[in-house]
Every structure is written in structure tokens, then in C-alpha cells.
Chain A
Amino acid sequence: MQAGQVISGALHASFLVLVSVGILDNAPPEPRQLVVAEVTMVSAEMLDAQASAPPQVLDGPTPQQAPEAADETPPAPAIDQAPQTSELEAVEVPQNPDIAADLTPLRRPASVSTPVSIDSPAFAQPVGEAAPTMPQANSDGNERNTMVSSLTPPPPRAAPRIDTSPAEAPPPEAEIAPEVQPEVSPDTTGAETPQPEVEATAPQEATSQIQPEAVEDAPIAAERVELSAVPVRRPRNMAAAAQEVEAAAEVSRRVAEQARAAAQEAERQAAIENEASEIEALLRAAEAENASSSQNASLSGSEIASIAQGIAANWNKQLILEQPNYEQYIVRVAVTLDGNGTILGAVEPVEPSSPTGYFRIAFDSAERAIRYAAPIRLPGDRFPNGATLILNFDPVRGIGFN
């Protein structure tokens, strides 16, 4: 009985071990998804490159064993990847080892940042090595002409690979996951804090991981090539999680982009508003300055008296005083002078604007007085462009017989 208990206990223990192993293998904890979320921040092309890397790098915390192609049926390529498939078929039976596999897109200098379509020949060159891209959260083609940042060399780990991504910072569980350490930024305080990541040497790491496949003379079997075109084996839950995270990230990114666009638009409008306000303020100031300068250019009392006296000395009121009720024949005239006091244009009646009858007599008398008095000197320093005089001729004022 005790032996039975021992056997039973051993079996239960082994069962529990197996079960525990199965759980670890099939149901990774949620924080793992967040770890994967860090991976999805890599663009599609980067994922392609990573897909061609040894699976153990991408495969999670446990060291990846040799690929077991027989165990996994690669997911069917997407329809839009058919051309790649055909190209792969072209090299399906390689006569020589695929040494010529060009991985330059992965090593392109950082200066190369031009938008490149994934349909472009330059991108098609490494197809032989490229694996089908991971299922994208959004494969409607909108990203096809986006900036392929993955064509640039992988930024240093310290650099925020996801600096433009709206993805949330990994939760604390992900940060402490030891298996994530080699894969993600060593930063445990969040991807947005670049300081700890400076110590990482991402380019070297990426190069070391990819380099083996780029080794010359590496024997590549046809089957191997085929298998290499599909994603390496990954846990299903990992892929699903990655897909979900990718979708969420995409949505977040789009929302963020829209928010950013809206913010930029608002900022632009605000800038225009501010600029318009400044222009308006400047114009108003200029106008006020003009008006102020015009109004400030005035004459002193003695200067006004001098001008008035000069005109009055030539103002003959004889014909005005002949009129019955001559008191009412007050005329207001305007005369424009240049800087030398010369009359410019006509002497214009202001009030009444069209003098007739006795008002006409009064206006003619005023005009004669002005023209006789011309040039009507003004202080040149204050009136370099002359002035317009509005003159009120009141026959009652100063009436007398000379």
C-alpha cells in the first residue's frame, strides 16, 4: 500500500510536472503578451527580418530548439504575398547555396530613410531570405507606402524604437520578466526612458543574430528554404496575442495619429490666429501712429493767427455786406497746400458744398482772399508735405470799416 502510495504520488507528481510544463507551454501569462507587445512595435519589415532570424531569438523565454519544420505547417501565405512565393519557387531548387542572399535592407545605412514600397525591386531582392510577414493587424495595404523604418539599421537599444508608438508602457510584470531582458530594452522603467537603454548594443545583437544566416556557403536545402519562407514555429497563443496587440497598437497608433493631426491642426490654427492678431495689432498701431502723426502736426496759436491774418488782409467783404441778412452767409472752404504753401488744386467749398446765390458771392470772396494770400507758409519741419486748411469765413466777425 505504501508502495502504491509512492507510485501514486510519483505519478501525480510527474503528472503535475507535465501539467505544469503544458501550462507554461500553451498558456503564457498575460504579461508575456505585453512583452510581445514590445516586439510588435517593430515594423513589418523588421518582423520579416526577424522572421528570418533564428527562431530562438524570437521564441520566448525558453531557448528555442532547432526548428521542427515537420511539426508545424506554416500558415498559408497571404494572397498579397503570392509574388514572393513565386520568387521563392524560382529558387526552390537552388543549384548553389544561397550565398547571394542580400540582407542589405537590414543593414542599410541610417541615412537611407526614403519611403520604399514593399513592392519595389529593392525590397524584393532579399525575398529569398525573407519569410512571409507576420499576419498584420491591418493588411488593407495602407501601410504599404509608409516609411519603412525597418530598412534602416536597427536603432540602438537605447533609442526609442517605439518612440512614436502610442503603446502603453509595459506593466511591471513585463518589466521584471527575466526572459524579456535580452529581447527588449533593458529599461525596466519604461520604454520612454532612454537612459538605461544606452547600454544596450542592439545593432551588434541584431547583427549577431542575423549574421549566421548570411554566412557564406551555408548549406540551405530546398526544403529548408521553403520552411524559411514561413514564420518559424511559434506558440499559437503568442501569435494570437501578437496579432491582438498589433491590432490594438494599430488602432492606438491611428487614434494617436488622428489626435496628433488634430492637435497639429489646432496648433496651426492657433499659430495663424496669433500671427493674424499680431499683424492686426501692428496695423492698428501703424494706423494710430499715422493718425497721431497727422493730428500732432498742429500749429501754435500765433501761427494760426498769422495765417488767419494773412488771409483776412485779402478778404474783401464788401460784396458780402451788401447782401440782406449777410450774417448768415458763412462759408467753409478747404484748400490743400504743399510744403511750400502753394495751393494745390481748387479751393473747394465745404459748407455749403454747392454754394449758389449770395453764398456763391461769399465763396468767391473767400477764394480770392486765399489765392491772394498764397503762398500760405507753414512750418516746414512739421508740414513737409503741406496741409489741408479748413477755413471758416464769418463776415460778422471783426466787422468794421477800414
Chain B
Amino acid sequence: MLISRFQTIIALLLALVAAPLAAQERPVIEIDISGGVIEPMNIALASFVPETGDAGDLATNIASVITSDLTGTGLFREVPTSAHIGRVDSINATIEFADWRAINAQILVIGSVAAGASGELTVKFRLFDVVTQRPIGDGVQLAGSQAQWRRMAHKLADTIYTRLTGQGGYFDSRVVFVAESGPKDARLKRLAVMDYDGANLQFLTDSSAIVLAPRFAPNSRDVLYTSYENGAPQVFLLNVDSGQRQVLLADALNMTFAPRYAPDGLSVVMSMEQNGNTDLYTVDLASRQATRLTSDGSIETGPSYSPDGSLIAFESDRSGGQQLYIMPANGGAATRISNGEGRYATPVWSPRGDLIAFTKIMNGRFHIGVMNTDGTGERLLTESFLDEAPTWSPNGRVLMFFRETSGANGAPQIYSVDLSGRTLRMVPTAGNFASDPAWSGLLR
């Protein structure tokens, strides 16, 4: 008993002695933080260091593209170079964080560019948190050709974005769309492809026939689209690299439209009109065999696979108006998921799988919105005279769509909006009107 008492005394003594040493007699106070602000983070890109004599312009351009990518998200705000106090002379330079903290920079990117005589290009970068004065991840080095400097810049931006947000990027991607020109009553329409930011625009078809609703294949190299070149709308396959194209179902005499690839890229789901009724079909790309999925007397169109390929969302007027439904990928009972006021069209399943984007027509106005896959949580992100045809960015954070202005001179243009609805931007298309955008996945 005495021993245990002495043990207790010793423990108490140790506690009394150790506690002040450990905590220095500091009380613990718990506080809940609420509120906060929602604003872009200040990011500073120090001028990239040219490691070779002829890399100066490339260094400037790469830094500019990275800045544009990051600030275009709405999540970051550039600290202009003119405000920089600190100077970075090397990719391995010691960072004077106080200089960057003084200009209220929160994130700092430094980099270097080396251009080889035979056209090769090497880009390095490092990322720092100015506030915590810690590097964010290790340094990154990319090597390629000078002709690919833009893609390299996008890839660097994707890396930075991923490190800062925890999400995958979407800058190194492309968009296929319908480029329009001419007066409204005599539009010329061509397929075109460009970088997600409008750069490197290329036309894929000529304007001899009306083209509609292109869709990228999962490999981002093949494109499905609808063309009237044979008099009636038909689904065509096009290889972007080679320009070769073919009709999906050569023997079909019926109208086919609104195609979309299955996630595995091995089949296509589309609408086909037979005997005045439009239903959904799947077509195996290898055998070109079509399988009917719906047999309702109404119009079913605008199908979109879930990311796992198990479900298909589509629009139907089986209830008397345009509404959204979900059914198994091999057909079967469909479940209506849109229950709000107005009409719903063009459902597109998010790459994340959590949301379905759609076009909503209500009170004579068009909206781009999203809802949960069960129809709950509907949010409208845009509103205009005509907003239509949403398409998801590879990471599921941004939607592109086209907006057409009203009036006799009204014309469509591609826009992007993030899921918050606060970052709405028009996507440049080299002076062309543009509609029906389709976003690829990240390029490989």
C-alpha cells in the first residue's frame, strides 16, 4: 500500500513537473470557425528562366499559357509580373518568401525553359505555398518538341491545378464543335476541333453538308457526328488525325442522330427513327449490329452513358413533354428523374458520375443546369435566350455549351461555366460562330 502510494506520489510529481514543461501551462481553447471567404487565390508566376539563349520567347509564352489556364478556372488570380519584388534566377534558387508575401502572393510558381538546337524543349517548374513557406510537391520536368510547347504548358498547368485543388486538370484537352458562318438563314456548318482554350483550331469537314452534334470518342481521336450529306441525317465516324470518315450504319435507310460513345469506346448509343417512331439503339462498332433499347411510342433521344457504362440517361416525351429518364444500359424500365417545372433536354452524365447536366426550357428561357442522378439537387447555372448542348470537362468541373443570341443577326457561341455558375466565359473560336461543343478527355 505504501509502495503504491509512493508510486502515486511519484506519478503526481512527474505530472506536475512534466505538464508545465510540455504545455508551458497553456490552456486549450476550442473555437469553431465559420464564414470564410470565397475568392480566387493569388498566384504569382515568376518569369520562367530561359536556360538557353533562344528560349526566352518560349519561356514567356509558356508562363503566359499557364497563367491563362489557371486564372481561367476562376480559382486563381494572377499577381502581375510588374508587381513582383522577388527575382528568381534559377529553378534551384532559394525562395525569399517575404518578397512574395509582401505582394500578397499565396502561391508561387517558378520555372525554367531550355530549347535545343534540334527543336527539343525542356520545361521545369516548382510550386510553393508562400503562406506556409513550403514546397508543394516535387519539381516537375517535361520534355518534348518546341512545336508542342502549348501542350506542355497545358500539362504543367494541369499539374499545378491538381496539386492545388486535389482534382484532375482539364487544360490539356480538345473540343470538337460545329463552326458556323454566313447569315442566319443560310449558315454554313463545318466540324472543327481546337484546344480547350480555342487555340489550334482545325476544320474537320467542309461546309458542303450540314453537320450536327459531334461527340469525341474516349480515345479523343475519333469523332461521331450527324451529317446530312446523304440527304437524311446519318451518323458518321471520323478520325481526327487522318480525316477519314464513314457512315456508321451504311445500310440503314432511316434517320440516325444524337450518337454518343459508350465509355469503353466499343459501342455507340444513338437515336433511330423507324416508322415515324424514334427509339434508342446501341450499335456495336465491330459488327455494326444495332440493338433496340426502347420501344415506346414516344420520342427517345439524347442518350448518355453513365461513366461505368451501366446506365443510360436520355430524354423522352412519353409523359407528354420533354423530360429526363434513366434506364439500364441494355434497356428496360426507365425512371424519370426530372420533375421540375418546364422541359428538360440533352442530358449528359458527368465524368465523375455524380451529376447530370441538362438543358432546361422554362418560361421561354433556356438554362444549363445540373442535378443529381436521382433528379434531386437541381441547380441552374445559366440563363439566356438560348443555351443548349452542355458538355463536361474531363474532370467534371466545367461545362461548355453554346449560347445563341436573339434577333435576325443572332449567332451561336461557345461558353464555359463552372459548377458554381460564377465563372462564365466565352470560348474563342477564331471568329467563327460555334455550336454543339463536345469536350474530349485528357489527351495522352
What is the interface of chain A, defined by CB distance below 8 A to chain B? 269, 272-273, 276-277, 279-280, 283-284, 286-287, 290, 293-295, 297-299, 304, 307-309, 311-319, 321-324, 336-337, 357-358, 360-361, 364, 366-369, 371-372, 383, 385-395, 397-398, 400-402
Contact = CB atoms under 8 A, between A and B. Distances in A.
Contacts of B354: 324
B30 interface: yes
B12 A318 contact: no
A293 B26 CA distance: 10
B33 A315 contact: yes
A315 B75 contact: no
B416 to A, nearest CB: 15
A371 B132 contact: yes
A272 B6 CA distance: 11
B38 A308 contact: no
A308 B28 CA distance: 15
B3 to A, nearest CB: 10
6 contacts: A277-B5, A297-B27, A316-B37, A389-B30, A390-B29, A392-B32
Contacts of A401: 38, 422
A176 to B, nearest CB: 52
B51 to A, nearest CB: 31
Nearest to A296: B27
B106 interface: yes
Nearest to B1: A273
Contacts of A293: 25
Interface string B265-283: 0000000000000000000
A295 to B, nearest CB: 7
B31 A308 contact: yes
Contacts of B166: 319, 323, 357-358, 360-361
A276 B7 CA distance: 11
Contact of A394 (B12, B29, B33, B40): B33
Interface stretch (B13-21, B402-410, B426-434): B13-21
Interface in B136-195: 164-167
B250 interface: no
Given A276-B2, A276-B9, A283-B13, A313 B28 contact: no
A316 B30 contact: no
The 6 A-B residue pairs whose C-beta atoms are closest, nearest first, are A397-B34, A398-B35, A283-B12, A315-B36, A312-B35, A398-B34
Given A276-B2, A276-B9, A321-B420, A388 B28 contact: yes
A318 B422 CA distance: 12
A392 B30 contact: yes
Contact of A322 (B16, B106, B165): B165
A286 B16 contact: yes
Nearest to B8: A280
Given A287-B15, A390-B29, 8 more contacts: A309-B35, A317-B38, A318-B38, A319-B75, A361-B166, A364-B129, A397-B32, A397-B35
Contacts, number: 167
A322 B167 contact: yes
B26 A322 contact: no
B165 A361 contact: yes
B285 interface: no
A70 B12 CA distance: 81
B244 interface: no
A349 to B, nearest CB: 13
Given A283-B13, A402-B38, A294 B33 contact: no
A26 B383 CA distance: 142
B292 interface: no
B40 A318 contact: yes
A312 B33 CA distance: 6
Contacts of B84: none
Contacts of B24: 385-386
Nearest to B395: A322
B397 interface: yes
Nearest to A325: B354
- Identify the interface centre among B15, B23, B36, B419: most chain A CB within 10 Å of its CB: B36
B132 A276 contact: no
A372 B106 CA distance: 10
Contacts of B129: 364, 368
Contacts of B397: 322
A283 B95 CA distance: 51
B199 interface: no
B32 A279 contact: no
B352 interface: yes
Nearest to A322: B165
Contacts of B19: 290
Contacts of A319: 41, 75, 164-166
B39 A390 contact: no
Given A284-B12, A316-B38, A324-B352, A311 B33 contact: yes
Contacts of B35: 308-309, 312-313, 315, 397-398, 400
Contacts of A372: 131
A318 B419 CA distance: 12
B333 to A, nearest CB: 28
B25 A318 contact: no
A295 B132 contact: no
Interface in B226-241: none
A315 B35 CA distance: 8
B13 A272 contact: no
A401 B35 CA distance: 10
Contacts of B131: 367-368, 371-372
A276 B4 CA distance: 11
Contact of A280 (B12, B15, B20, B420): B12
A369 B75 contact: no
A367 B9 CA distance: 41
Contacts of B31: 304, 307-308, 311, 389-392
A273 B420 contact: no
A61 B84 CA distance: 125
Contacts of B75: 318-319, 322
A9 B404 CA distance: 171
Contacts of A294: 23, 25-28
A111 B355 CA distance: 107
- Identify the interface centre among B34, B131, B164, B397: most chain A CB within 10 Å of its CB: B34
B19 to A, nearest CB: 6
Contacts of A277: 5
- Identify the interface centre among B27, B33, B166, B420: most chain A CB within 10 Å of its CB: B33
Interface in B295-345: none
B71 to A, nearest CB: 13
A276 B2 CA distance: 8
Contacts of B8: 280
A368 B75 CA distance: 16
Interface in B365-422: 397, 419-420, 422
A168 B248 CA distance: 130
B345 to A, nearest CB: 25
A368 B6 CA distance: 48
A287 B106 contact: no
A394 B38 contact: no
A395 to B, nearest CB: 7
